[in-house]
Structure 1
Amino acid sequence: MQLSQQARFAASLAALWPEEDRTGPLGLAVSGGPDSLALMLLAHAALPGRIAVVSIDHGLRPEAAGEVALVERLAGERGIPFTALSLTPQPGNLQAQARAGRYAALAGWAQARGLGAVATAHHADDQAETLLMRLNRGSGLAGLAGVRAVSRIAGSQVPLLRPLLSWRKAELEALVAAAGIVAVRDPSNANPDFERAAIRMALAEADWLDPAQLAISAAHIAEAWQAIQWYAECEWEEMVVRDETAPTGLGFAYCANGPRVVAIETIIRIIRELGGHATRAEAARAWDRLWRGENASLGGVLAVPGVEKVEKIGVPMRVWRFRPEPPRGKAN
């Protein structure tokens, strides 16, 4: 491995996970594919003695046990602590279920071992594929922001890092080959029945598209999404108050005069605070109805639009009142 590669990885990791924030070793999710093996090699060089590796058999392919064994051998040769985990396949969308199970297992492993964070090997080509997939679905900004460089594993406080988002897949494959390692290949990655594999094939044929630049665009969108989330937090603090007129004493009044994208996030939070759940698509449809002056119902919550003079502002404003829906057959 070149020193420049080691330094580049260390710099990428430090930007996501500053030294002063590190409370334990870095956990690595390694499948045996070239991307995650490159992550292991880079992290071992940059953080000797401060990493741990896990490999997960999702129970979907008979070859997976051998792939886990390969990772165990490679980790052992380098003195890296290793854990093997097995999952039981769940009914439904195989890839979605495998992903959910994988991250739940990663969180449990990290907490049990006292790890400071977990890193995965998502790279620039993955990010480009994700952006194109979500553009093709008509996703909003939250989806177009792609794979986040820093987040938390769902349902936990475990930091989740993606330090390879500026690296191309070809670079990672070359790094593994230079180490004399033959990586495994998951056949599902070349199966066009899966959306990501189909997008990957189309992207490979479109030589006028630059995956690295697409990944940069996704990073710019992620920054814009962070700004919207910050604005939504301000909106919550400044424009949402408890609705003392609600019959049960449980409700919120929202002075809804900001941008639609911010209002959607605020509506989602109001619904959550009232014990319900709403997707962004549902909140967007509710916003459309409320903006037209129509009632909206979502997540077990009734929203009623109106125009009121807001005391602290002194002028009439749109005020939307949210409260739990009354039982069917009873008046509001």
Structure 2
Amino acid sequence: MQVSLASVVLDRFRAALCRLDCADDRFLCAVSGGPDSLALLLLAQHALPGKLVAATVDHQLRAESADEARIVAEICRNLGIPHIILTPDEKISGNLQSSARAARYALLERAADTQNCRHIATAHHADDQLETLLMRLARGSGVDGLSGIRARNGRVVRPLLEFTKAELIDICSSAGIQWVNDPSNANIDFDRVAIRKWLANTQHPFSAPRALRTASALADASDALLWMTDTLAEQRISQENGVITCKVNGLPRELKRRLLIRCLRTLDVGLAPRGDAIDRLLTDLENARTAMIGNIKCLGQSDWQFSKAPPRRS
């Protein structure tokens, strides 16, 4: 079955693929069965004929999820698109949203390798970007967090970021494709759902296109700061006998913060301080105090020094 799509919509999608430099490559398309991912599937079918494999992750968290995966498989069979169902190796536990996300991307990465797909396409769209921006603003995120959902993250690409949710629903409706509804999308215990409900039921000045522009500008700023941090790290960070020295004189506070995190992760790659913890440590070092974070001793003076603390005696 070949579904007809408006040429202007297809042109926008193909332009997005070209900007992502992936218009000629083989894709693994993540399809949950909702309108967003089904619209992605329909667009990709036209733009990437013969270069597409669809994958549905059944997290096995709901009784209906197996049936929903089979519905997607049937849609793909009717469209002539190869489809696979992926299930986690272990039961998902802990923080369900973050654990499910980690399991999902791990499964998609593995499947992309197996299916010889260079890219993994997900259906994040402009409304998702607005929700993400507001969520992270509420959490007090900095430049990196407020850069939002990236159009490309490694092999993961998101060619729908310039499409709104309404446009994706219209694509599915026009094609006569019936989507499935995930009840977790109505659970306001999740931050994203709460933000989504607030946006839908409140008069507000926010719009998805403007949020997209803001996130894009902040992403450019984040990339520039990363480039500057890399350059400064080569010039100002040295290591000898297990002690890292960082020269921070004359630098703006944000660059000090980034060099500080670089030093900590050099000594302990698993250490990921953020928010209040990194702010307190930065203040201690700027005031020439000695502090501990994890198992790292941090000495504030004209040049900052970092070293692994000796193990405590029992």
Task: Give the TM-score taking structure 2 as reference length.
Answer: 0.92
Shift of 1:252: 1.3
Shift of 1:230: 0.8
Matched, 1:16 2:8: no
SS at 1:220 equivalent: helix
Asked whether the 8 Å contact 1:242–1:251 carries over to 2, the reply is yes
SS at 1:134 equivalent: helix
Q: Distance in 2 between matches of 1:200 and 1:278?
A: 29
Instruction: Output aligned runs, 1:290-301, within 5 Å.
Output: 290-301=285-296
SS at 1:306 equivalent: coil
The answer for unaligned runs of 5 or more in structure 1 is: 153-158, 244-248, 308-318
Taking a change above 3 Å as real, the CA distance of residues 278 and 192 of structure 1, as seen in their structure-2 partners, is closer
Which residue is 2:71 aligned to?
Answer: 70
Which residue is 1:315 aligned to?
Answer: none
Residues paired across the two proteins, number: 305
Q: Distance in 2 between matches of 1:222 and 1:100?
A: 22
SS at 1:118 equivalent: strand
My pick for the range that moved more, 81-90 or 232-241, is 81-90
Asked whether the 8 Å contact 1:176–1:182 carries over to 2, the reply is yes
Task: State the one-letter code of the partner of 2:265.
Answer: R
SS at 2:180 equivalent: coil
Instruction: Output aligned runs, 1:90-239, within 5 Å.
Output: 90-152=92-154, 159-207=155-203, 208-239=205-236
Shift of 1:18: 4.1
My pick for the range that moved more, 141-150 or 272-281, is 272-281
Q: Distance in 2 between matches of 1:128 and 1:31?
A: 21
Q: Distance in 1 between matches of 2:55 and 2:210?
A: 31
Which residue is 1:246 aligned to?
Answer: none
Among 230, 253, 262, the residue aligned to 2:255: 262
Shift of 1:225: 0.8
Which residue is 2:82 aligned to?
Answer: 81
Which residue is 2:7 aligned to?
Answer: 3
| Root-mean-square deviation (Å) | 1.7
Shift of 1:66: 1.6
Asked whether the 8 Å contact 2:289–2:301 carries over to 1, the reply is no
Q: Distance in 2 between matches of 1:266 and 1:113?
A: 40
